């Protein structure tokens, strides 16, 4: 598989015209996927929701991934994030995550939270390298199959931003790589 740089994508506001592709990616990515109606609700009825898509650049723009962010006063929560299988391992999830963090900060949020399956090591590694800290777990949070969630949070502060911007700085690595997982 050829690596595609993240500059091959653009982040845009999710629109109804994107929903067929978004739902297809959702179904390929999750064992208990959101339905079309859930995404429609995010677009038109949830005042806290900020859904975004990653589109390929070029004459034909395809949906390559998406992220649904809620901003409720000073707290933001990433509700859903996924990348089409053909666009994985190209740093697109990182691009979507960074766009969500920037949008949360711009909206006045002080923290961004999310959770993922305990078995999703790739997502956990991404969140840790992007300045999130492991803060807890939710037992039996996921179904199909039943699994615990691990919770992450990122405090939106200049110190965390600097650590994420300079990951090779030894001072910036403190507290990231050795963060323990909650016990089962």
Domains and CATH numbers, the chain: 6-172 (3.40.630.30)
CB 126 within 8 A of CB 67: no
Residue-level pLDDT at 174: 37
In this prediction, residue 144 has a pLDDT band, given cuts at 50, 70 and 90, of: confident
Residue-level pLDDT at 79: 97
Residue-level pLDDT at 177: 37
Asked if pLDDT for residue 2 goes beyond 70, the answer is no
Calculate the CA 36 to chain-centre distance.
19
Three-state secondary-structure class, residue 84: coil
In this prediction, residue 93 has a pLDDT band, given cuts at 50, 70 and 90, of: very high
Tally of CB atoms within 10 A around 147: 17
The single residue listed with the structure tokens 């939710």 is: 138
Taking phi over 0 as left and psi of -120 to 50 as alpha, with beta for the rest, 140 belongs to left
Residue-level pLDDT at 6: 72
Residue 83 CA to residue 99 CA, distance in Å, equals 14
Residue 65 CA to residue 81 CA, distance in Å, equals 8
pLDDT 10s digits, 11-55: 999 999 999 999 999 999 999 999 999 999 999 999 999 999 999
In this prediction, residue 96 has a pLDDT band, given cuts at 50, 70 and 90, of: very high
Residue-level pLDDT at 164: 72
For the ranges 13-27, 92-106, 112-126, 167-181, which has the lowest average pLDDT?
A: 167-181
**Among 90, 35, 24, 34, which Cα is nearest to 63's?**
24
């Amino acid at each position: 598989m050829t690596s595609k740089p993240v500059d091959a994508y653009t982040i845009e506001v999710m629109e109804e015209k994107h929903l067929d592709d978004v739902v297809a990616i959702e179904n390929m990515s999750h064992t208990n996927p959101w339905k079309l109606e859930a995404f429609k609700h995010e677009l038109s009825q949830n005042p806290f929701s900020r859904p975004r898509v990653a589109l390929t650049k070029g004459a034909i723009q395809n949906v390559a991934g998406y992220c649904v962010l809620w901003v409720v006063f000073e707290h933001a929560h990433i509700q859903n994030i996924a990348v089409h299988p053909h666009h994985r391992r190209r740093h697109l999830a990182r691009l979507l995550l960074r766009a969500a963090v920037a949008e949360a900060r711009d909206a006045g949020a002080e923290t961004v939270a999310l959770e993922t399956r305990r078995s999703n090591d790739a997502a956990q590694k991404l969140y840790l390298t992007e300045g999130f800290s492991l803060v807890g777990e939710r037992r039996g949070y996921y179904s199909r199959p039943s699994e615990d969630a691990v919770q992450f949070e990122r405090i939106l502060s200049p110190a965390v931003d600097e650590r994420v911007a300079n990951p090779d700085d030894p001072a910036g690595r403190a507290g990231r790589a050795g963060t323990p997982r909650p016990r089962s």
